[in-house]
Structure 1
Amino acid sequence: MRRGRITHSSSLGYEVYLESGEVIRAKRRKGRDTRDGLPMIGDLVEIDDSDQIVRFLPRTSVMERPRVANIDQVAVTISAKQPDFSSFLLDKYLTAAISSNIPAFIIVTKWDLLNPQEQATCRTRLAWYEKLGYRVFTMGRGCEEELPALVEKVEGKISAFMGQTGVGKSSLSNEIDPEFKRPVGRFDEQMGRGMHQTKEVILIPFAHGFLADTPGFSDFRLTLDQSELAHDFPGFFNLAYACRFRDCLHRNEPGCAVSEAVANGLICPDSYQNYLKLLSEANAPRGWEKRSSHSSRPGKEK
């Protein structure tokens, strides 16, 4: 019996990267679905001598969008321009990583398209995320000194790029290793959005780990209800346990530790407004779910 990881899927079956380094085409034995439904890119599997998948190993992590399993970290990718920098999308993606219990770091692409004043303004905004413990990389022409640190960040780990269409996720993969030769799309200025180039999730072996190149989002909605969002929004988790009421949604409730932190300059006002917008989009609480009593969440990583 051989073990491997699903790196790609198609109508012909599943591409599996074996522990030996060999890549084979395997098919799922009839009735061999995972406990959580259909197989996902990143699934660890056991394969028999006829190249049939006979067992799916337990998953250590799951991301629903992009749909990928067993990743170590998420590279939340946002562009400085084309499309314009959006702290709302950044907060939304980071919340998704936190809710999936997967560490995240931030990559800002197309940094060279900002003028010095715009860069300074964006740096000030990004500093709030660094205060929360997120590692931030700025990439673009003239930012070559950042590349070695980014390569070191992904070496030996399974990392998934996450971001909207046109921010340059495939270009980043090619910068990390030019041998990848991933197809790169373009930004349509007339339409104001990127053009889809990557159509599916694919895992690419790199430096004793993998990079997951993923399709961009033209629309991305969180599946959290309001009570989950109140805990999983970046910077809120520890504060939420200090609120007077455990079902506090951090709006106008008395004794709200989050509102107090905003008033005292400990939470970015812009991010707080992003939270309120997300809260208005979220469903009403499904009922209080027991949360971990740990003092920190793995949704961030320095």
Structure 2
Amino acid sequence: MPTGQIRKALSGFYYVQDGEKFIQCRGRGVFRNRGVNPLVGDFVDYEVESGSDGTITVVHERKNALVRPPIANIDQALLVFSLTEPDFNPLLLDRFLVVVESFNVEPIICLTKTDLLTEEEMSKIQPYLDDYRAIGYEMLETYKDDTDLVDNIAPILKGKISVLAGQSGVGKSTLLNTVLPSLNLKTGIISEALGRGKHTTRHVELVEVCEGLLADTPGFSSFDFDEIDKEQLSDCFPEFRKASESCKFRGCLHISEPKCAVLAALKTGEIKDYRYKHYVKFLDEINERKPRY
């Protein structure tokens, strides 16, 4: 039975790429009874019924799946944050980083508008950037009309399935319009392909970019912690995850427990104070979350 990958979902149809061909497929009816919903990014088996139409028969096991947008098997997320207009926001960045980590997706921090800051303004932000690099996060810095952007981002996108997320106004559209024309696509086609046009239908689609696949996440302004348990939260902070291996108690929440290695690392400065404050704030949000039934 042939196998392919769902590259687009629209109006109940799934467009499966198998080599050089696209097959327009429906999901098998039994999927609905089993609660199985094929997602863009899924690898699937399908049967061809007539011409170029087919039916998806099997959805292969996923390594992860997002709810908004509904997409599976993500390798990495490019988190686009501006250094100004809007101002750089470590709390919001940490929120995005935590949720991305919780889905086992590698975050890439993409900083925009780096040309709009004075030296004094940059000196206030630079310590944060140094901290994130020290933690181990990959970081890309760019600006409008950056002629090196395609060359710098191509190795990051190559061979990966990537999603793009960030606040409104941080430069996501500028980044897309810089990268995607390398495929000789017109702006109008880009808008239609990614569901960004004013009158286009919102849908998820993987677009080939720089020998990888990229999906935009239109409308994202924040992430929530609905799928994260309080015991899992510290695992979404890489420096906490490493330190917590030495905590005395399994399941330590790093608040007031004795012989907590995270609190010890906080005292020595190995864990930054603002990162710990963000952790406590997120933990409070999880604890205040209404129970799900």
Give the TM interval when normalised to the shorter protein: 0.7 to 0.9
* Stretch deviating more after TM superposition (212-221 or 69-78): 212-221
Q: Distance in 1 between matches of 2:34 and 2:113?
A: 41
Q: Which amino acid aligns with 1:72?
A: D
Residues 32 and 131 of structure 1, relative CA distance in 2, 3 Å threshold: same
Contact kept? 1:170, 1:183, Cα under 8 Å: no
Is 2:250 aligned against 1:249?
no
Preserved contact between residue 77 and residue 108 of structure 2 (Cα < 8 Å): yes
Structure with the larger RCO, 1 or 2 (CA within 8 Å, 6+ apart)? 1
Deviates more, 1:225-234 or 1:264-273: 225-234
TM-score by length of 2: 0.83
Which region of structure 1 is more displaced relative to structure 2, 269-278 or 108-117?
108-117
User: Where does residue 127 of structure 1 map in the other structure?
Assistant: 130
5 Å matches for 1:83-102?
A: 83-102=86-105
Amino acid paired to 2:159: G
Q: Deviations over 1:30-61 (max 9, x none)?
A: 12359763222211112212221122111122
Deviation at 1:142, TM superposition (A): 6.5
Residue of structure 2 aligned with 1:55, choices 42, 54, 58: 58
Q: CA RMSD in A?
A: 2.7
Partner residue of 1:273 out of 262, 274, 277: 277
Residue in 2 aligned with 1:7?
A: 7
Q: Displacement, 1:220?
A: 2.2
Does residue 28 of structure 1 match 2:27?
A: yes
Instruction: Encode CA deviations 1:6-35: one digit per residue, 9 max, x unaligned.
Output: 1221215122222x1223322112123597
Q: Report whether the alignment pairs 1:138 with 2:146.
A: no
Inter-CA distance 112–236: structure 2 relative to 1 (3 Å threshold): same
Q: What is the CA-CA distance between 1:242 and the residue it aligns to?
A: 1.1
**C-alpha distance in 2 between matches for 1:273 and 1:128:** 15
* Kept in 1: contact 2:166–2:221 (CA 8 A): no
Which among 182, 191, 195 is matched to residue 183 of structure 1? Answer: 191
* Structure 2 residue aligned with 1:300: none
Within 5 Å, give how 1:133-282 maps onto structure 2.
133-141=136-144, 143-178=146-181, 179-180=184-185, 181=187, 182-183=190-191, 199-223=202-226, 224-282=228-286
Cα distance in 1 between the residues matched to 2:145 and 2:74: 30
In structure 2, relative to structure 1, the CA distance for the partners of 1:219 and 1:73 (3 Å cut) is closer
How many residue pairs end up in the alignment?
274
- Contact preservation (8 Å) 1:62, 1:71: yes
Greater per-residue helix proportion = 2
Look up the equivalent residue of 2:257 and give its one-letter code. Answer: E
Match of 1:105?
108
Cα 1:163–1:34 change in 2 (3 A) is farther
Long gaps (5+) in structure 1: 185-194, 286-302
Q: Which residue of 1 aligns with 2:118?
A: 115
- Amino acid in the other structure paired with 2:229: D
Return the letter of the residue paired with 2:56: I
Shift of 1:230: 2.5
- SS of 2:208 mapped into structure 1: strand
**Structure 2 unpaired stretches of 5+:** 193-197
**Match for residue 195 of structure 2?**
none
Q: 1:43 aligns to what?
A: 42
| Shift of residue 272, structure 1, vs aligned partner | 1.3
Normalising by structure 1, we get a TM-score of 0.81
Query: CA deviation digits over 1:229-259, x for unaligned, max 9?
Result: 1232242112112112223212232212112
**8 A contact 2:5–2:42 mirrored in 1:** yes
